[in-house]
Structure formats: structure tokens, C-alpha cells
């Protein structure tokens, strides 16, 4: 008998093509003893045509999965998009009372292997499990100050998670989310999760969420803070999940494993639509430009403060 693995993705009508690609990539690489119970949490109504497109994937892979669309209106308390995403993740315990744990996947990923080993991770004493974010660790002082946590050694990327639904059901997280927003001025989905769950997070191997942001560090052999060199090289060269944080494969060419993403995109009901993708150099230039702009803003701000102090001193 196949092992059922519940998986949840959250999307609106704009990213159904990416959700479809993520689902098909997972199904094309599923183990023979696995069966994925896939739930698409749709936060805005979609038309019947779009609904049929998603459900047609189930017909094609009926021996490997079931797919259910769940419609949820945007959370009333949180008007900003990222805080909404965070609140939905913490609500999954109530939405899925039949499960003890569930895999959560962002839509901007490509799955390249079976997810059963990841799902079997023991998180009975943790709120969730995920992959350590080395890139955020490099800016520890900055983020520790923002998040009011003692260190960044447990900070994870929140786009691929194994959630302990039993623990999520036991706790009231909505008030904690509001506290992060109103008292700490934290609105970023990932920051909120790491702040609330600090000390109750378990690490999984980096191959289960190789982010575009961390990829260059992995290729350079860096980030041996949590993981061994062998685990880092595996994450760089043969990830189970590659996560396109930053540049997206439907927008830019020559990204890591983007050939895989395109291959699975073309198998989706959206695959006949030709993508117009720009060279990755354009993304890199825009990123460089943003950094320069931010530095100029900081310099101007410091100059204004110093001028104000000088003015008050001699007036």
C-alpha cells in the first residue's frame, strides 16, 4: 500500500501556472511507494476554466495523486499580502484536522525527487522543520535586532516547510502574528515565522530547499554552520527541491535547473503559452542598481541627521 503524503500550496489566480509546474514536477519524480494528497489553497475565486486546468493534472496522474482545491477568502485581520501568507500557514492545523503534519510548498519551485523521506522527518517536539538560511545568517546583527531573537542559527527559509499541525492546533498564533506586526513592526512572512517559532524549529537537509539566494554560497562550499560539506555539495549539485527566491524561471533565462522547470511547465495545461524570458544579466544589473540606490538613500539619511544635529548645536 502506498504512503499518503499531504501537500499544501497556497496561490491566487496569477500563479496557477507556477503551482501547476510545481505539482507536475513533484509527480514526475514521485517514488513508487508514495501517493501525494495535494491541496491547493486558493485565496481568490478562479473561473471554471482555470479550475478544470488544475484538476486535469489529477486525471493524468490519478495513480500518483489526488488534487483538491480549497477556497479561502483573504484573512480579515491582515491586509498586507505577506502577513496573509503567514496567517494561512498557521491556520493549516484548523483547515486540515485529519492530519498530524503536512508539507507546505511555495509555488516558485521545481521538485526533482521523491518527498517521502522529507515527510517522514520526526517533528513531534518541534513546531516545524525547514532548511537553514545561510544568507540571512550573514546579516545576523541586522536581523537579530529586527526580530528580537538571541541568534540567527535557527533561521530557516519559510517557502518549504514540514508543519506539525498538532502543535499549530494547540497554540493560538493569530495574536502572536499581530504582536509581530504591531509591536515589532515585522510584516515579512518568513521573519514572523522565525520569530514566533524560535527554539522550536528542526533542520532538514539543505537539498530539500536549495534557494537561489543560497545556491552561490553552496557552490562556493560555504555555509558549513549547520550542515556538513557533503550535504552542501549535494544541495548545490543535486537538490530535491530548487526554490527560485529572487529571479523566477518564467522571467529569466539560464537560472540553475531552469531547464527542468521549463520541461515541467511545458507538461502543464499552461505549457502552450510561450514565455518571454530575459537574460539573467538583466536581473543581476537590477539587483546591483537597487543596492546602489539603497546605499545612496542611507548616505543621504545619515547626512540629514548629522546636519540636523549640527544645526541644533550652533543655532
For domain 3-278, give its CATH number from 2.30.29.30, 3.90.550.10, 3.40.50.1220, 3.40.50.2300: 3.90.550.10
CA dist list (Å): 100 to 35, 67, 78, 162: 17, 19, 26, 11
pLDDT band at 301 (very low <50, low <70, confident <90, very high): very low
Give the range with max mean pLDDT: 21-30, 39-48, 72-81, 167-176: 21-30
**Lowest-confidence region among 158-172, 225-239, 247-261, 283-297:** 283-297
Other CB atoms within a 10 A radius of the CB of residue 233 amount to 16
Q: What is the pLDDT of residue 181?
A: 76
Are the CB atoms for 196 and 176 separated by under 8 Å? yes
Inform me whether the pLDDT recorded for 178 exceeds 80.
no
pLDDT of amino acid 54: 94
Q: What mean pLDDT is predicted for residues 43-64? A: 91
What are 56-99's pLDDT values in tens digits? 999 999 999 999 999 876 544 444 444 455 678 888 988 999 99
Q: Up-side HSE of residue 243: CA atoms within 13 Å toward CB? A: 23
252 confidence band (pLDDT: 50, 70, 90) = very high
The phi-psi region of residue 257 (left if phi > 0; otherwise alpha if psi is between -120 and 50; otherwise beta) is left
- Cα–Cα distances (Å) from 128 to 124, 131, 149, 183, 275, in that order, read 9, 11, 18, 24, 35
Helix 189-196 to helix 174-182 angle, to the nearest 10 degrees? 120
Asked whether 176 and 91 are in contact (CB, 8 A), the reply is no
% of the chain beyond a pLDDT of 90? 57
Q: Where do the structural domains in the chain lie, given as residue ranges?
A: 3-278, 281-315
Cell numbers found for residue 80: 498586507
The chain-wide mean pLDDT, for the chain, equals 86
Which residues face 102 on adjacent strands?
Answer: 163
- Three-state SS string over the chain comes to CCEEEEEEEEECHHHHHHHHHHHHHHHHCCCCCEEEEEEEEECCCCCHHHHHHHHHHHHHCCCCEEEEEEECCCCCCCCCHHHHHHHHHHHHHHHCCCCCEEEEECCCEEECCCCHHHHCCCCCCCCEEEEECHHHHCCHHHHHHHHCCCCCCCCEEEEEEEEEHHHHHHCCCHHHHHHHHHCCCCCCHHHHHHHHCCCCEEECCHHHCEEHHHHHHHHCCCCCCCCCHHHHHHHHHCCCEEECCCCCCCCECCCCCHHHHHHHHCCCCCCCCCCCCECHHHHHHHHHHHHHHHHHHHHHHHHHHHHHHHHHHHC
Q: Which pLDDT does position 186 carry in this prediction? A: 78
9 versus 140: the higher-pLDDT residue is 9
Amino acid at each position: 500500500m502506498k504512503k499518503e503524503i499531504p501537500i499544501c500550496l497556497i496561490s491566487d489566480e496569477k500563479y496557477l501556472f507556477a503551482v501547476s509546474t510545481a505539482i507536475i514536477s513533484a509527480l514526475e519524480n514521485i517514488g513508487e511507494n508514495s501517493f501525494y494528497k495535494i491541496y491547493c489553497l486558493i485565496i481568490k475565486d478562479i473561473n471554471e476554466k482555470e479550475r478544470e486546468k488544475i484538476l486535469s493534472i489529477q486525471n493524468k496522474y490519478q495513480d500518483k495523486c489526488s488534487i483538491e482545491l480549497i477556497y479561502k477568502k483573504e484573512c480579515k485581520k491582515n491586509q498586507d499580502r505577506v502577513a496573509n501568507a503567514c496567517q494561512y500557514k498557521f491556520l493549516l492545523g484548523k483547515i486540515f484536522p485529519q492530519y498530524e503534519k503536512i508539507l507546505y510548498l511555495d509555488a516558485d519551485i521545481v521538485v526533482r525527487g521523491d518527498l517521502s523521506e522529507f515527510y517522514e522527518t520526526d517533528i513531534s517536539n518541534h513546531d516545524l522543520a525547514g532548511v537553514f538560511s545561510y544568507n540571512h545568517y550573514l546579516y545576523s546583527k541586522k536581523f537579530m535586532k529586527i526580530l528580537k531573537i538571541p541568534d540567527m542559527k535557527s533561521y530557516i527559509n519559510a517557502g518549504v516547510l514540514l508543519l506539525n499541525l498538532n502543535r499549530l492546533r494547540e497554540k493560538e498564533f493569530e495574536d502572536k502574528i499581530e504582536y509581530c506586526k504591531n509591536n515589532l513592526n515585522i510584516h515579512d512572512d518568513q521573519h514572523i515565522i522565525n520569530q514566533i517559532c524560535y527554539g522550536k524549529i528542526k533542520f532538514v537537509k539543505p537539498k530539500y530547499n536549495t534557494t537561489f539566494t543560497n545556491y552561490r554560497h553552496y557552490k562556493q562550499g560555504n555555509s558549513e554552520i549547520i550542515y556538513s560539506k557533503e550535504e552542501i555539495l549535494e544541495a548545490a549539485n543535486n537538490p530535491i527541491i530548487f526554490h527560485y527566491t529572487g529571479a523566477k524561471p518564467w522571467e529569466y533565462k539560464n537560472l540553475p535547473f531552469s531547464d527542468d522547470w521549463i520541461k515541467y511547465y511545458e507538461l502543464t495545461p499552461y505549457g502552450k503559452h510561450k514565455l518571454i524570458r530575459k537574460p539573467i544579466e538583466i536581473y543581476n544589473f537590477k539587483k546591483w542598481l537597487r543596492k546602489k540606490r539603497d546605499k545612496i538613500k542611507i548616505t543621504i539619511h545619515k547626512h540629514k541627521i548629522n546636519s540636523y544635529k549640527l544645526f541644533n548645536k550652533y543655532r
